[in-house]
Chains A and B, each alone.
Chain A
Amino acid sequence: MNIQLRNKLISIFVIIWLAIFYYESTCVYYLEPLFKRELPRMKFLFPPAGWIMFYNIGDNFGYTEVYGVKDGNPQLIDPHQILRTRAIGYDNINRNALITVTSPGMSDSFCPFLKRRFPYFDKFLVTYVEYPQLIEQPLERTQTVVYECNE
């Protein structure tokens, strides 16, 4: 390819890439508050909320516990039996991957999955465990049933 043409194409690509990269990096937390409206986003490529790794860590902590119920007796199911996929070098359960199942609407897909994985149990309780104040009250622990999976 002609070098001048190649350089022009590269320059065009670099300019477009940089414009989109920095637009997407700042859109949610800087540009949208600035313009006070929702701005168009580019799908398929950039982290939807920007580069927000560990940006907000509160002094509370919540996670999911799932119980299988057999003959009326609830029994805690090891989360590693629910999410059997072992990631290399880290534990997805400790990364709180299972918290997703407490989101609204998740029971429709999570309950059939539990029934398939653990046919022994009659029903399941999906609970949310929370330590609301890790620093002030480290032993305070609440647990609420988010939903039940019945037959």
Chain B
Amino acid sequence: MSNDMKNIWNILFLEERASIGLSFFRIFVALTVGLHVIPSFFHLDDNYLSTAFKTFNTDFFPQSFIDWVQKSPDALVVFFVWAFYVTWFCFLIGFFSQISCILMTACCYYFYALNCFHIGTLSWDILLVTLFLMCITSYHGDYFSIDALRRGDIEAWRHPRPFFIQRLLQLQTASTFFFTGLYKITGEGNWITGNPIYYLMNYPSEGVTKHFLLKEWMAVHPHFCYISGLMIVATELSMSFWLFNPKTRRAAIILGLCWHILLVLTLDVPTIFLFLFPAQMMLFIHPQKIIDWIEAKRLINSQSPRAKIIYDGECGFCRSSVRAVQVMDLWGKIDYIAGPKDMSEMCLCLPDGKTYGGFFAFRRIAWICPMLYPLIPIVYFPGSGMLGPLVYRWVARNRYLFPVFHSCAAGKCHL
């Protein structure tokens, strides 16, 4: 019995599984935090400086902490704004992922205590719980991150880690659904004794309900609204079981995604509902399935003609740059060939015979490596076709002066 319990505990929390899902989740958490907090910085005088109108969440923070934060001079507030921008961006790109997560979370707490009027919502509290769990480990920086490039581990996408953080995040998501449903039908909840959807449909235009196609029809069909309400509660109560059951998981994830899209389309709820919660659903996908999917794609690509990067094999900076491309080449679509020392620029040869050099090779690589997708709008921005080659040529001319990641120094980097 004890061994069985140990095994179950191991499977639930301690077993090592690939952390790529968590790395992907990090990006969504960062986007959610940014989209929620950054708009409040556009009117610092209204929101956080001494001229602001402030409200405080004394249930969440001890009064002494709020009093302490309120003593902040305006200069300190501005300092925290910049600290937030820097740490948030580092967290987004996974640069010292854990430290940036901790510092960004500290900034979030600071602004929440300073004034909860704009950012304080129930979904924000949920986001803080998620952030706290993300602060515990650095696993979310394993892939889709600058940290992965710094380490130069080309197998970073399959890096195994104890599963407990992802499991706790799963439990948080499932429990949020369950308790949200439970509170609706017990205690002060009125989804059985009343008809909340019907009331929402009859709210005046100043209310939380958005205008959508069926609103007016639903506003005169109370029975439909009541049945819909019961179905919502039933779904919320059973969602956790569907999510944890492998047979119903896929349907539950799709339902959860549709659920939150519907919520955002019909009600004025914080965007956290659209960015964080659907990403939380994706955490239920078994990491091994993601790895199997990636490996299948890599296998297909390994048996097909691949693109070739030819680079200066004598230059440490070039080797470490190519190593970085290798880390980012998730689908295994590129071969790497060390060329002669006197190469003026790297060269990319595609299987269809097309050849690109220098900046234009880099621009084409951005379409091949998923981690470079965010750079596509930048490298194709009007004017980048003129500026990019100039920058590239300058870097290429000075490539022997640039620092080299440790793993590629002194010719130790095996590609």
- Which A residues, 78 to 111, have Cβ-Cβ distances below 8 Å to chain B? 83-97, 100-101, 106, 109-110
**Looking across the interface, which residue of chain B has its beta carbon closest to that of A96?**
B208
Q: Decide if B183 touches A10 in the complex (CB within 8 Å).
A: no
23 contacts between A and B (CB under 8 A): A11-B14, A21-B129, A21-B172, A21-B175, A22-B175, A30-B186, A48-B57, A50-B183, A51-B126, A51-B176, A51-B180, A56-B190, A83-B118, A84-B43, A84-B46, A85-B39, A88-B35, A89-B264, A89-B271, A90-B268, A92-B268, A100-B55, A135-B199
CB distance from B386 to the nearest CB of A (A): 33
Interface size, chain A (Cβ < 8 Å): 62
B46: chain A residues within 8 A (beta carbon): 83-85, 113, 117
Is the CB of A54 closer than 8 A to any CB of chain B?
A: yes
Q: Decide if A46 touches B129 in the complex (CB within 8 Å).
A: yes
What 0/1 pattern do residues 40 to 59 of B give for CB contact below 8 A with A? Answer: 10110011000111110101
- List 4 tightest A-B contacts by C-beta distance, closest first: A48-B59, A57-B196, A113-B53, A89-B271
What 0/1 pattern do residues 19 to 33 of A give for CB contact below 8 A with B? Answer: 001100110011001
Q: Decide if B40 touches A85 in the complex (CB within 8 Å).
A: yes
Q: Decide if A109 touches B54 in the complex (CB within 8 Å).
A: yes
> Which residue of A45, A52, A58 is within 8 Å of B122 (Cβ)?
A52
> Which residue of B39, B40, B175, B180 is within 8 Å of A55 (Cβ)?
B180
Q: Decide if B176 touches A10 in the complex (CB within 8 Å).
A: no
Given contacts A85-B46, A88-B35, A88-B39, contact A55 B129 (CB under 8 A): no
Q: Decide if A54 touches B184 in the complex (CB within 8 Å).
A: yes
Q: Decide if A95 touches B202 in the complex (CB within 8 Å).
A: no
Is the CB of A75 closer than 8 A to any CB of chain B?
A: no
Docked pose: A18 CA to B175 CA in angstroms: 11
Docked pose: A57 CA to B196 CA in angstroms: 5
What 0/1 pattern do residues 106 to 144 of A give for CB contact below 8 A with B? Answer: 100110010011000000000001010011001000000
A53: chain B residues within 8 A (beta carbon): 122-123, 180
Q: Decide if B164 touches A10 in the complex (CB within 8 Å).
A: yes
**Looking across the interface, which residue of chain A has its beta carbon closest to that of B190?**
A56
**Looking across the interface, which residue of chain A has its beta carbon closest to that of B45?**
A116
> Which residue of B54, B62, B271 is within 8 Å of A90 (Cβ)?
B271
Is the CB of A63 closer than 8 A to any CB of chain B?
A: yes
CB distance from A120 to the nearest CB of B (A): 17
Docked pose: A72 CA to B189 CA in angstroms: 45
Docked pose: A25 CA to B269 CA in angstroms: 21
> Which residue of B35, B40, B54, B60 is within 8 Å of A43 (Cβ)?
B60
Q: Decide if A94 touches B39 in the complex (CB within 8 Å).
A: no
> Which residue of B109, B132, B208 is within 8 Å of A94 (Cβ)?
B208
A11: chain B residues within 8 A (beta carbon): 9, 13-14
B4: chain A residues within 8 A (beta carbon): none
Is the CB of B257 closer than 8 A to any CB of chain A?
A: no
CB distance from B313 to the nearest CB of A (A): 38
Q: Decide if A134 touches B109 in the complex (CB within 8 Å).
A: no
What 0/1 pattern do residues 177 to 213 of B give for CB contact below 8 A with A? Answer: 0011001101111110011101110111011101000
CB distance from A61 to the nearest CB of B (A): 5
